Amino acid sequence: LRRTPVEPGTEGESESEGVSESESESENDPLPENDQPTIPYGEKPSWEILREIHDTALVDPERAESMCDDVEKTETKDSCLLDLAQISKDKSNCNQINNDNDKDGCFASVAELSKDSSICADIDYTDLRDSCYMDFILNGDYALCDKIVTDYYQNACKILRS
pLDDT at residue 20, rounded to an integer = 41
Percent of the chain scoring above 90 in pLDDT: 70
Entry pTM: 0.72
Mean pLDDT for 114-123 is 98
pLDDT at residue 24, rounded to an integer = 40
Q: Report which of 49, 44, 6, 47 is spatially closest to residue 25, judged by C-alpha positions.
A: 6
Q: Which residue has the higher pLDDT, 20 or 127?
A: 127
pLDDT at residue 161, rounded to an integer = 86
Percent of the chain scoring above 70 in pLDDT: 74
Query: What residues contact residue 81 under an 8 Å CB cut-off, 6+ apart?
Result: 68, 93, 94, 96, 97, 106
Q: Which residue has the higher pLDDT, 79 or 29?
A: 79
pLDDT of residue 89 exceeding 80: yes
pLDDT at residue 43, rounded to an integer = 76
pLDDT of residue 104 exceeding 80: yes
Q: 44 pLDDT band (50/70/90 cuts)? A: confident
Mean pLDDT for 3-24 is 41
